[in-house]
Amino acid sequence: MTVAQCTHRDHVIEAQVEEHPGIPTPWAGGCRITPPDGVITRRLPLPVQSAFLAELDAAQQASLAHGRWLVDQHLDHGRQF
């Protein structure tokens, strides 16, 4: 599996998707964020209502989008990761 990642506002966001075989939507989305200071966050899961997706690519893209939103919230509103 390839690792999906992007850089947003000097923060590296890496999709951390977990597989849960045997259910119709087996991919649980989440991400890790590395700010410029190099301290990596724990895995930050997607919100419960959208946490599980049917396709790996969709889960990775949702995870990266959530990471970008978290970075914006952190930088613009002072919220913790």
Distance CA 68, CA 37 (A): 17
Q: pLDDT for 36-78, tens place per residue?
A: 999 999 999 999 998 999 999 999 999 999 999 999 999 999 9
pLDDT score recorded for residue 11: 98
Distances (CA, A) of 38 to 11, 42, 68: 9, 13, 17
Distances (CA, A) of 81 to 12, 23, 60, 69, 76: 13, 29, 19, 11, 12
Residue for token digits 């649980």?
28
Structural domain boundaries enclosing 31: 5-77
Distance CA 52, CA 63 (A): 11
pLDDT band at 3 (very low <50, low <70, confident <90, very high): confident
CATH number of the domain to which 66 belongs = 3.30.160
> How many separate domains does the chain show?
1
Is pLDDT at 14 greater than 60 in this prediction? yes
